[in-house]
Amino acid sequence: MPAKKRAPAGKENAKPAESEPEQEESQSEGEQEKPAAETASTGIKKMRGRPKGMPGEKTKPKRKSVESYGSYLYKVLKQVHPDIGINKKAMGIMNSFVNDMFERIAGEAARLAMMNHRRTITSREVQTAVRLILPGELAKHAVSEGTKAVAKYSAST
């Protein structure tokens, strides 16, 4: 004897869809049924047509946004060498380089802040980190450019 299927919890008294009585046709032949959008008592219009994402409808997959310094690197390239371009592989290498330098400088600045019992990384920690990480003349140029950028930002705000 096959086992009986039990109804899910809270569905014991629910009637199957087949046993529901048909709608009574009490409307006269002159009256026609109103569209669903007008019968809503709340005054909210219901959507008509198929909603997006229905089976059989082609939708474009969402692109995963990838953060990159590419647009900024391209702008700097055009400032320095307006007639030169850069290919995708070279842009990837430059992006990787910028990420690596950012992590090195941020990590060193964080260590400096912790050594001085500070919870905030300021421009002073970043400047010291740059002096520690970059060699000689490169550090001097980076510090002067950074100081210039901070001064420009302070003047604009």
Q: Where are the domains of the chain?
A: 69-155
**Fold category of 69-155 in CATH:** Histone, subunit A (1.10.20)
What percent of the residues of the chain are helix, what percent strand, and what percent coil, each to the nearest 5? 50, 0, 50
The confidence score (pLDDT) of residue 51 equals 61
Structure tokens at 32: 């026609």
Q: Are 142 and 132 in contact (CB under 8 A)?
A: no
Q: The pTM is what?
A: 0.59
- pLDDT digits (tens), the chain, 157 positions: 555 555 555 555 555 555 444 554 445 555 555 555 555 566 666 666 656 666 777 788 888 888 899 999 999 999 999 999 999 999 999 999 999 999 999 999 999 999 999 999 999 999 999 999 999 999 999 999 999 999 999 999 8
